[in-house]
């Protein structure tokens, strides 16, 4: 089964497709060492303190990363979708990874990743993408108001998933609230406002949000300065192939 190839086509702007840009031979090696696993809703993939000896590629479903304060306050660090690669950490993980839906992922032992220079480069690229992404989130939390956080979150996700007609939102409001530094009520109010404006439709039974006016969604999010186009085939990857 060509699982890893499927992953490659899963979504255009995934937070790192491990197998992207790999030549057939390297892809074959990767396929040989990757193990499959299936998850039910709420399953924990790893938690803080767990030994970080694998990286994970999300094939189907959705996952979130989160941390807690000891008093229970929670921050959802990010939502992961098919194609995303995660689990980067030193000896131990510092956050928790939870399946939002029934999911399937492939686990790759980090030891195996050190052998192939192409993969090492690929991983480096992915972890840099992660850093940029996290900085985006920092800006969102630090300098945007509630309505902006919601529209920016939605428009970023919409763009990342390739501007589809409907956005999968497999998480609950409370998860979005804990991601955006807001309360459930505020998230609900902002979604209601967007619905009233005709920008989004009502969330369907199967947790899919119709995007009625993507352009307006992007217009409502605070604009960032144009970013140089990141080319997956360029940069440090070139000199390794």
Partner DNA sequence: CGTCAATTTGATTAAATTCAATTTTCGTGG
Partner DNA sequence: CCACGAAAATTGAATTTAATCAAATTGACG
Nearest CA-CA partner of 97 in 36, 56, 136, 60 = 56
Applying CB under 7 A, does 236 fall inside the site for DNA?
no
Nearest residue (CB) to DNA, 23 versus 196:
196
Give whichever of 104 and 188 is closer to its own copies, judged by the CB atom: 188
- Residue 65 forms beta bridges with which residues? 78, 97
Q: How far is the CB of 227 from its own copies (least distance, A)?
A: 6
Stretch that binds its own copies, among 9-17, 55-63, 116-124, 187-195 (CB under 8 A): 116-124
Identify which range of 26-34, 143-151, 208-216, 229-237 contacts DNA by CB under 7 A.
143-151
**Residue 182 lies near DNA (rule: CB under 7 A):** yes
Candidate residues 82, 179, 187, 199; the one interacting with its own copies per rule CB under 8 A: 179
Separation between Cα atoms, residue 241 and residue 236, nearest integer Å: 10
Applying CB under 7 A, the span of 30-38, 50-58, 89-97, 141-149 interacting with DNA comes to: 141-149
Nearest Cα to Cα of residue 99 among 56, 68, 141: 56
CA neighbor of 55 nearest in space, from 89, 78, 79, 24: 89
Considering the complex, what minimum distance in angstroms separates the CB of residue 222 from its own copies?
5
Smallest distance from the beta carbon of 189 to DNA, in angstroms? 5
Any contact of residue 241 with its own copies (CB under 8 A)?
Answer: no
Residue 130: which of 51, 34, 65 has the closest Cα? 65
Contact 146, 182 (CB under 8 A): yes
The HSE-up count of residue 84 (CA atoms within 13 Å, CB side) is 23
The binder of 14, among its own copies, DNA, none, by C-beta within 5 to 8 A per type, is: none
Among the listed residues 176, 130, 171, 135, the one whose alpha carbon sits nearest the alpha carbon of residue 153: 176
Which residues of the chain form contacts with DNA (CB under 7 A)? 145-147, 172-174, 181-189, 191-192, 203, 205
């Amino acid at each position: 089964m060509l699982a890893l190839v499927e992953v490659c086509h899963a979504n255009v702007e995934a937070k790192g497709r491990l197998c992207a840009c790999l030549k057939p031979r390297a892809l074959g090696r990767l396929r040989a060492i990757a193990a499959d696993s299936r998850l039910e809703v709420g399953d924990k993939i790893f938690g803080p303190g767990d030994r970080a000896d694998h990286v994970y590629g999300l094939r189907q479903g959705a996952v979130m990363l989160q941390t807690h304060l000891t008093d229970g306050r929670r921050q959802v660090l990010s939502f992961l979708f098919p194609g995303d690669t995660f689990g980067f950490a030193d000896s131990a993980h510092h956050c928790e990874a939870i399946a939002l839906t029934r999911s399937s992922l492939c686990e790759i032992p980090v030891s195996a990743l050190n052998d192939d220079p192409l993969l090492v480069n690929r991983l480096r690229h992915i972890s840099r993408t992660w850093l940029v992404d996290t900085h985006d989130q920092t800006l969102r939390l630090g300098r945007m108001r509630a309505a902006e956080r919601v529209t920016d979150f939605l428009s970023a996700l919409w763009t990342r998933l390739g501007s589809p007609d409907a956005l999968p939102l497999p998480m609950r409001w409370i998860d979005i609230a804990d991601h955006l530094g807001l309360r459930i009520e505020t998230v609900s109010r902002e979604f209601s406002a967007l619905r009233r404006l005709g920008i989004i439709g009502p969330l369907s039974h199967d947790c899919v949000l119709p995007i009625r006016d993507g352009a307006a969604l992007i217009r409502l999010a605070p604009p960032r300065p144009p970013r140089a186009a990141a080319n997956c085939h360029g940069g440090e990857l070139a000199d390794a192939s």
